[in-house]
Chains A and B, each alone.
Chain A
Amino acid sequence: MPSYTAPLTDMRFVLHEVLKIQNYANIPGFADATPDTIDAILEGGAQIMQEVMQPLNQIGDREGCKWNNGEVTTPAGFKEAYKAYCEGGWPGLTADPEYGGQGLPHVIGIALSEMMCSANLAFGMYPGLSHGAYEALHAYGTPEQKAMYLPKLVSGEWTGTMNLTEPHCGTDLGLMRTKAEPQADGSYKITGTKIFISAGEHDLAPNIIHLVLAKIPGGPPGIKGVSLFVVPKFLVNADGSLGARNGVSCGSLEHKMGIHGNATAVLNYDGATGWLVGEPHKGMRAMFVMMNAARLGVGIQGLGIAEVAYQNAATYAKDRLQMRSISGTKFPDKPADPIIVHPDIRRMLLSIRAFAEGGRALGLWAGLMVDLARKHPDDEQKKINDDMLALLMPVVKAYFTDYGYESATMAQQVLGGHGYIAEWGMEQFVRDARITMIYEGANGVQALDLVGRKMPEGFGRLLRRFFHLVSGYIQDNMMDPDIGREFVQPLAKAFARLQTATGFIAEASLKNPDEAGAASMDYLRIFALTAIAFMWAQMAKTAAEKIKSGGGVAGKDFYETKIAVGRFFVDRMLPDTASHLAKLQAGAKSMMALDAANF
């Protein structure tokens, strides 16, 4: 059975020593988040994740959710776990105090999310979706809607969902058919079928608040005519008590590859009563507000899986005795050397770890950007962070989930045959990780978003936020005695490739828009590797300082190990930027040459 220990030291290192979030006390919510408070929260979170959530992960996978005549039963133990989660106040950790939340920084929420995803990805999606619904209502709901729904979403008493997908309409929401007919009392009657609704029906909470995209008849065609509605499973009386059952029912649950513990529902809306959220036909605007945070959340899922898979594979590699080291016996007292002595085992383990640690730093930095984009007192800073977040989100979502899945299979590989056996838990990580590459915008769509929307925005304004930062960092640290040669110069090379790739796409796509699409995934990976290298350079610099100065969140050993893992990233992962650039510069020609009929 797999195990999980939350990487608290590493989280504290990133939060306190690299991002130095204690320097942001001028941002609302940060003043309360002293290092001590944060550490206590992280420890509390680690405890519930390790002791309550993680043990349910395999059970949830094995049992799955059960559908019976419209009712859904979650796996054994989920209900109790959810109760404990709510009692601990975890659903409202970063939520608005006005609605009962604790108002802590989003960046802390990201750390908790990672732990949840490592411990029990399927379970984590119930509160995760609630938070999405909370965000949409908080940003666009009327005061009445907020008063009615937010406190109960924040406390976890009720859960929420997001309803976008329909049988014929996934990425292209303009094709949507679900309709919302206006009623005399100002409400709407919602009719249609929504599929793939995570946490769409379950027994964890007495009410479920569905946020549903639908079209008001007579509105503009396509994506411009989509509106957002709030549709509770049970109508809510004026006093807050539950009223009549609304006209939304769960038609079935999907049978799927992974995340069995989460209920992926088909929801049938049959004249269900709903209320408009935000302006008519502006539903996508509300969606986009949440999209950045939601995509960051999914990226963190990839990271969480990588971390837990690494931990179990590393443990196994130190225990499993097979063969001798090719450079000579390392453990003569044992019948064979543990497989950790083998370079290729190390290659796999270090790849996962270098990604996980670099990704953690990037993910937490992005979490900090969410806070700054929303709460910074200076509008200019708000905009800069919002731009940066918008730019990095497709990168984080796609790269973290691609590499999260890659990590799970590498970890599985370390276990050899046992990795393929359910009992060891590794194959569940592979299966669970697979969905993260698909939902919340398939990774190919993320790459298109990056080159097609984010890159040209404001003639590269979003790019500026990242490029100027990295360019300035390189200039300032190129000659740094600790990191200049080992970290900053390789970063500079990768960054130059990123610039070259950016220029190539900007120019080539003017002549042929397919060039942008053909280049998009390689571009996204160059971007991600450069961004992670940027984080590694900062981490290495901090570690080197701590080694010299002493003190810090951990001992010297931690910082030396940190630098060593960073060197692996720079030596063995960052050079992929060169091959991605070469592929990208080869252009779209060979990709587009084949006639559709020849496939």
Chain B
Amino acid sequence: MTRSTRRTHRTLRAAGAGAALLLALTACSSASDTGSSASPQVSGTVTVFAAASLEESFTKLGTQFERQYPGTKVTFSFGGSDSLAASITGGAPADVFAAASPKTMKIVTDAGGTSGTPTTFVRNQLEIATLPGNPDKISSLKDLTGSGLKAVLCDESVPCGAAAKKALDASKLELTPVSYEQDVKGALTKVELKEADAAVVYKTDVRAAGDKVTGVDFPESADAINDYPIALLKDAPNAEAAQAFIDLVKSADGQKVLTEAGFLTP
């Protein structure tokens, strides 16, 4: 926490940083208050910006939230974490940000956009998505480097690509894919449509794709597990309800939905 505060100090001008810090601290304490008491004030619309890989589980949690707090409505904007971070720092009216990597969350915290420190709520592991039934008998990352096999990776600039690169580097493998996709769903689609033989994606994406792909665990994925941070935003139009949603995500119920989708608990 102190490091991130110091960083904020460096990047922002002194006055702005002071104000942001003050706001962050007050919001932090008030946030924990609302968290402990199941306050009846929770109402209205909560706007959640979440990484694309969270779409299935967060949609489910949104319905659960609306049932738990009648009169509330959760609206989601799912997308690449980087684009979401850019919209938030650009002033998009969001309450909660759930990112697919600490790096993308840092874009928002560095701009003083979060209220309090982001916390890791789930982790995601990489998996190889192959054609249904794994006809090419892929069992490790090394198998993807074989010639004649069309493999797809995410671009290094997006979290899934950075994680894949980390895993490849850790096992000293050189992999030339046919394409560096702009996001994880793009990579998965290429295998779903059978245009590529394999893609390195998240476990959760393989799970969500059902029987259109077969997932293959690979040992190197242990070297690249992605933390997913969630944070209440400083300019949240509906901070009470937003905090209640974050509490739900972190609760045992929420974690159950997320692990069912293939996420790992932090």
A and B associate: no
